[in-house]
Structures are given as structure tokens and as C-alpha cells.
Structure 1
Amino acid sequence: MSDEEKIVTNNVSEEIEELIEKCIKCGMCKSICPVYHEIFEETISPRGKVLLLKNKVYDSLFYNCALCKACEQKCPAKIKLCEAFKKARQVLIDNKKETEVNKKMIKNIREVGNPLGKEPEKAKDLFCC
């Protein structure tokens, strides 16, 4: 990996390690993950993401998480997986590695106040009730 490709994690890497150190790789999180059940790829599963984090691999795959915490409820070790994944996302953002979708959402929030880019008078159309 060249110097310009290196990811700077500051202290976040250590914080993530503390969060995931108790993982026993049982896969219980994988069994309940709605994103995994749509894509069926190990690296998309919470367990797969934990393995990436243990190897200090920060990838856009961390955006493939609904942050619904179903995995945390199923985890026998009670690991705060979503917190670890949010920290991984922050590392990506800090290193200018966010996805184009994220960039567009941020732009929309700044310009019109919501991630979908709807004008304020049409914002009520975003909600079902």
C-alpha cells in the first residue's frame, strides 16, 4: 500500500479493537442481519466486518449496514457492533473515502435540509404518516 493509500485512524482503531475484542466468530449476528440476507456475502455480514476490522481493513462495505442493531441483540458476547461500524465509517470519512452516495446526501442536507434532496415544501412527502 502506498503512502497516499494509507488510512489514518488516529485513536479510533484502538477504540474499535476494544469494541470487537470479545467476538467469538460464532455467526449468530450473521443469522439475523437483514443486509446479509439480501446479499449473501460473508464480508457484508457483521462477522465479516469484524474480521475486516481485526485486520485493520477499512472499506466501503461498512456502509452496507442498516445500523438496525439486530446483530447486537443476537450477539452472545453483547458486542456493540453498530458502534464499531459507525467508527469505521468515520475513519473512511476522515480519510476522504466516503462513497458518492454519502457525498450526495451530505450535499443535499446542506442545500435543502434532508438527505434525499427534496425541497422543504415537499419534505412531508418523505413520510408515510
Structure 2
Amino acid sequence: MIDLNPAPRLSSLAEFALPEAAQSDSPTNDPFGLRTAIARATRAVPDGVLEAQKKRVKMLRKQIEQLQQRARKANDRLAMVQGAARHRSTDAHTQLLSAARAQAQAASSALSMAQVALFQAESALIGSEV
């Protein structure tokens, strides 16, 4: 029968283990901090990914500004339609009011989703810079 896990081979691989797998991480075992540097390098994010994340955060901030303007305009339109006292009893006013409410709600929802996306992108950016 073939032994797939020979003991000498496993013990020789133990010296290349990352610090999380090592039994003792004292400075006497690793005077130059090589294991720590290797562990950081293996977890590091490439520069292209970091730049792409920064670009996405910038794009989302710009999109949020545009959505805020759109939401303000929709809310202004809703206030204008609600304030039209002369035609309150007509079906046309009811339809305009319904459309203005829907537009304001859609703008608010889009803004909320963009803010969540920005939060997630910033969280990912913070996590990758560490």
C-alpha cells in the first residue's frame, strides 16, 4: 500500500507555513520578520484593483450628486402639484399627483441604492488598503 502522507515530508513543509499556522510566532523564531512580510504580501491587493476601487468610489459619489439633484427636482414638482389648489377635484390633478409621487419615490429609492453601493465600495476600499 502507498502512504500518501509520509511523516518526514509533512515536517519539512511545516517550516514554510504562514504565521497563523505556526505554533509560536516569537521574534526569536523569525528575527527578520520574513514570515510576516510574506503573509502580508500574499494578502496584498494588486495596484490595478485598488485603482479600480478608487475609480468606482469617485464615480458613485458623482452619481449620488446627480441623483440628489434629480430627487430635489422631483420633490419640488410634487410640492408644486400638491399646491395647485385650483384643480384639486379633477381627475387630471389626481393623475398628476400620483405621477409626481411615483417620480419622487423612484428618485429617493435610486439615491438610497447608490448610497448603499457607495458604502460597500468604500468598505471594500478600506479593507483592501490595510
Q: When the two structures are superposed, what TM-score results if normalisation uses the length of structure 1?
A: 0.25
Higher percent of residues as helix: 2
